[in-house]
Amino acid sequence: MKWNIHKLKINLKGHARRRFDERYPDMSYEMMLHHFKTGKLVKKPIKDGDVGKIVKKIGRRKISFKFIIREEEIWIITIE
Report the predicted TM-score, pTM, of the whole model to 2 decimal places.
0.87
Q: What is the pLDDT of residues 5-43, one digit of tens each?
A: 667 899 999 999 999 999 999 999 999 999 999 999 999
Residue 35 φ then ψ, to 5°: -65, -35
| pLDDT for 3 | 66
**How far apart, in whole angstroms, are the C-alpha atoms of residue 51 and residue 29?**
22
Secondary structure (3-state) at 9: strand
| pLDDT for 47 | 87
Sign of CA dihedral 13, 19, 22, 24: negative
Share of the chain above pLDDT 90, in %: 72
